[in-house]
C-alpha cells in the first residue's frame, strides 16, 4: 500500500512541478485502484474475531504479562498461528482496512509488518493532502487512534529493530496536524516527541519546517530557548502553529514570541506563558506572516 501511495504522489508531483501532463491518466488510474482496495470490507465478522487475538500480540511485554491466563493463551496462539498465516486469509478474503483501525500494507506478502502502520498513515495523509480526497478521512482517523491507543507504540520502543517506526509516527502526526484541526493530533505529536527523546532518537526534519512536498514556502522553527526544549513548525493554510515541547524533567522557559493565540495541553486559550512545566507542551498560533 505505502509504495503504491508514494509512487502515485511522486508522479503527480512530477507532473505538477515539471508541467508534464503525460502521467495524468496513470495517476487517475492509481487513485481509482487506491479507492477500490481501501473500500474492501469482506468477512468483517472473521477479521473482527481475528484482531481481538492479534491485537494482544502488539502489546508491550510488561502489559502482556499482566493479562489473564486465558488471554495470554490466546495471544500465544495468535503469535504462533494467526499472524504467520494472515496473508493466506487475506488471499481468500482480500482486505487491507481492518475492523478497529488497523491498516495492513499488503495483500499477498508472507509477513505481518505492524511496524509499517505509521508509514501507511503518513502516506495516506500525504495522499489525502495532495489530492484533497476526503474519502480518506475516516480510515486515517481510525488508524491514528489505533496506533495511539493499542499499545503498539510501547512494543516498538522495546524492540530495537522496530524502533524506527516512532519517527514515522511523529512524521505522520505532523502531516495530520497540517490537514486537520483535531486537537488530539497535537497532543499525540508532543507525546511522540517525548518518546523519541526518551529513546535518544532525532526528530524528523519535516517537524522543523523543511518539507517542500507539504509546504510551498518552508518556515523554519524559532530557536529553542534552552537544550531539551523541542520546537516544531506546523505551517497550515492560513496560520502558523509552533509546538513547544519540554522534554526535560524540570520547568523550562518559553521565550517571548509573537502569536495571536497560545493554547495549553487541553487546547484551551491561555495568556502567553513564561514557563513550561516538565514533560508538557504548549502551542502558539500566529498569522503566516508573523514571526519574531
Asked, for residue 292, whether it belongs to a domain, the answer is: no
pLDDT digits over 74-119, tens only?
Answer: 999 999 999 999 999 999 999 999 999 999 999 888 888 899 999 9
- Is there a single domain that holds both residue 148 and residue 226? no
Asked, for residue 221, whether it belongs to a domain, the answer is: yes
- Is there a single domain that holds both residue 6 and residue 150? yes
All three cell numbers of 33, joined, read: 485502484
Q: Are 2 and 119 in contact (CB under 8 A)?
A: yes
pLDDT value for 97: 97
Strand 275-276, strand 261-263: pairing: unpaired
pLDDT value for 254: 87
- Is there a single domain that holds both residue 126 and residue 48? yes
Cα–Cα nearest to 156, from 209, 199, 92: 199
- Is there a single domain that holds both residue 76 and residue 211? no
- Is there a single domain that holds both residue 268 and residue 179? no
Boundary of a domain, candidates 198, 228, 252: 198
- Is there a single domain that holds both residue 216 and residue 276? yes
Q: Residue 166: enclosing H or E segment and its boundaries?
A: helix 165-179
pLDDT value for 209: 83
Cα–Cα nearest to 115, from 79, 165, 158, 155: 165
Low-confidence ranges of the chain (pLDDT < 50): 290-292
- Is there a single domain that holds both residue 122 and residue 147? yes
Boundary of a domain, candidates 198, 226, 258: 198
DSSP annotation of 224 reads: P
- The phi and psi torsions of 252 (rounded to 5 degrees) equal -120, 160
- Is there a single domain that holds both residue 73 and residue 16? yes
Boundary of a domain, candidates 148, 175, 198: 198
CATH of the domain at 275: 2.60.40.1180
**pTM of the predicted structure, to 2 decimals:** 0.94
pLDDT value for 42: 95
pLDDT value for 211: 86
The domain tally of the chain equals: 2
> What gap in Å lies between CA 43 and CA 152, rounded to an integer?
24
Asked, for residue 68, whether it belongs to a domain, the answer is: yes
Domain that holds residue 160: 2-198
> What gap in Å lies between CA 211 and CA 175, rounded to an integer?
10
Amino acid at each position: 500500500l505505502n509504495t503504491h501511495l508514494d509512487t502515485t504522489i511522486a508522479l503527480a508531483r512530477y507532473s505538477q512541478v515539471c508541467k508534464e501532463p503525460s502521467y495524468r491518466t496513470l495517476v487517475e488510474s492509481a487513485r481509482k485502484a487506491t479507492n477500490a482496495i481501501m473500500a474492501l470490507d469482506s468477512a468483517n465478522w472473521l477479521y473482527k474475531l481475528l484482531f481481538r487475538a492479534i491485537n494482544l500480540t502488539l502489546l508491550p511485554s510488561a502489559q502482556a504479562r499482566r493479562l489473564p491466563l486465558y488471554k495470554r493463551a490466546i495471544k500465544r496462539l495468535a503469535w504462533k498461528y494467526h499472524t504467520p498465516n494472515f496473508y493466506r486469509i487475506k488471499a481468500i478474503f482480500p482486505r487491507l482496512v481492518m475492523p478497529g483501525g488497523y491498516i495492513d500494507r499488503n495483500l499477498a506478502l508472507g509477513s505481518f509488518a505492524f511496524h509499517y502502520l505509521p508509514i501507511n498513515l503518513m502516506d495516506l495523509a500525504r495522499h489525502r493532502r495532495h489530492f484533497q480526497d476526503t474519502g480518506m478521512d475516516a480510515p486515517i482517523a481510525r488508524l491514528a487512534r489505533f496506533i495511539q491507543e493499542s499499545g503498539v507504540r510501547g512494543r516498538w520502543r522495546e524492540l530495537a529493530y522496530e524502533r524506527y517506526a516512532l519517527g514515522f509516527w511523529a512524521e505522520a502526526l505532523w502531516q495530520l496536524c497540517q490537514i486537520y484541526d483535531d486537537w488530539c493530533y497535537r497532543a499525540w505529536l508532543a507525546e511522540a516527541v517525548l518518546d523519541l527523546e526518551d529513546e535518544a532518537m532525532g526528530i524528523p526534519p519535516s517537524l522543523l519546517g523543511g518539507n517542500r512536498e507539504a509546504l510551498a514556502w518552508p518556515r523554519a522553527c524559532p530557536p529553542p530557548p534552552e537544550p531539551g526544549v523541542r520546537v516544531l513548525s506546523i505551517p497550515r493554510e492560513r496560520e502558523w502553529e509552533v509546538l513547544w515541547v519540554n522534554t526535560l524533567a524540570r520547568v523550562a522557559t518559553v521565550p517571548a514570541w509573537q502569536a495571536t493565540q497560545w493554547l495549553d495541553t487541553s487546547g484551551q486559550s491561555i495568556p502567553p506563558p513564561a514557563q513550561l512545566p516538565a514533560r508538557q507542551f504548549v502551542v502558539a498560533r500566529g498569522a503566516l506572516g508573523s514571526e519574531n
